[in-house]
Amino acid sequence: MALSIGIVGLPNVGKSTTFNALTKAQNAEAANYPFCTIEPNKAIVPVPDSRLEALAKIVNPQKIQYSVVEFVDIAGLVKGASKGEGLGNQFLANIKETEAILHIVRCFEDGNITHVEGSVDPLRDIEIIETELLLADMQTLEKRIERLERTAKTDKDAKDALEIAQALMAHIESGNAVRIFPQKEHESFKELNKELRFLTNKEIIYGANVDEEGLGEDNAFVLIVKDYAQKNGCEVIKLCAKIEEEMVSLEPNEKQEFLESLGASESGLDQIIKKGFEKLGLISYFTAGVKEVRAWTIRKGSTAPQAAAVIHKDFERGFIRAETIAYEDFIKHGGEQKAKEAGALRVEGKEYIVQDGDVMHFRFNV
């Protein structure tokens, strides 16, 4: 399961540099001019998880397999994108296919890097992007309302859907994102969103891109982004995309030493990957054997048979039981056998909701 996060922002804010560092592969051209990203670049990124290393120390497997998230580098939007300006609707459509958004915002001054709007102003930049997303949602919804108006005269379900669509349009026209629409739990809204995939209904993480000096105390630009995000119920992660890209080639211990020399305890990109995983509503459970220690990605709230299905559909079809040890118990007792002897191994049935970090072994018969 590799649900996707779209990286958006104005041209020249550090999106492609961020993408290069995220994917540890220099395959997104980063150039000092707008629209250097023409086609959306996609890459699967491992989710940093120290629990896997801790399990591997006990099990000593041949390899470690991490959970993953897909990031999509989408070309820079500009004012008027919803009307086709720049590369316009093509890229709005690319965002529609993602499940969450990483919005990179420039939070540093540099006369050598052109800003498409002529100056550095994080709040203005955020509002440009979010206005374009709102306008795109309005256009999409407007077309649907026109269809519903024709069918609502004879179809009760269409009439209900029309009422919700009209309420949503009024909500958007007031400048509000779909994600805070009060009637999101209404079935008609769920059907609309399933089909239309509203851009402003997606979870947003703001990536405040700073220069090296900005990695210490928050500068004025970062404080502006944090204030805006807090008011809108969103997360902010500070990073220096240029330095993150430079750290790609460093060994883990060298990277950690370098981060500490800059006054940072954790890579901004690692934080983004982990936060993105969480925003997508995903968790990991583990299998731990001599061949591999592996994290398996499932949606939060998945049952044991649903979790088993990500390994193989037959595991779900013939599910009998799940032998489960909490991660903390596995570490505390030093492995499966000792955890079992201590009574920490549980036998769970079909109704069990898998918890993040469960170490599992499935019994099945087909």
Sorted by where each starts, the structural domains of the chain and their CATH numbers stand as: 4-279 (3.40.50.300), 301-364 (3.10.20.30)
| The 68-73 sheet, strands edge to edge | 41-46, 68-73, 4-8, 100-106, 203-209, 235-239
Instruction: Determine how many CB atoms are found less than 10 A away from the CB of residue 216.
Output: 11
Mean pLDDT estimate for the chain: 87
Q: For residues 165-190, give the mean pLDDT.
A: 94
- Cβ distance 346 to 324 under 8 Å? yes
The answer on whether 12 is annotated among ligand-binding residues is yes
The answer on whether 17 is annotated among ligand-binding residues is yes
Q: In whole angstroms, what is the distance from residue 205 CA to residue 102 CA? A: 5
Q: Tell me the three state secondary structure of residue 17.
A: helix
Taking only the tens place, the pLDDT of each residue in 19-45 is: 888 876 434 344 444 444 445 577 788
Q: Report pLDDT for 91.
A: 61
The answer on whether 13 is annotated among ligand-binding residues is yes
Q: In whole angstroms, what is the distance from residue 82 CA to residue 321 CA? A: 51
The answer on whether 303 is annotated among ligand-binding residues is no
The answer on whether 96 is annotated among ligand-binding residues is no
Q: In whole angstroms, what is the distance from residue 339 CA to residue 335 CA? A: 6
Question: What is the DSSP pairing of strand 68-73 with strand 4-8?
Answer: parallel
Q: What is the pTM of this model?
A: 0.83
Pair of tokens at residue 113: 């890097």
Confidence band (pLDDT; 50, 70, 90) for 250?
Answer: confident
Taking only the tens place, the pLDDT of each residue in 68-86 is: 888 888 765 556 544 554 4
Confidence band (pLDDT; 50, 70, 90) for 262?
Answer: confident
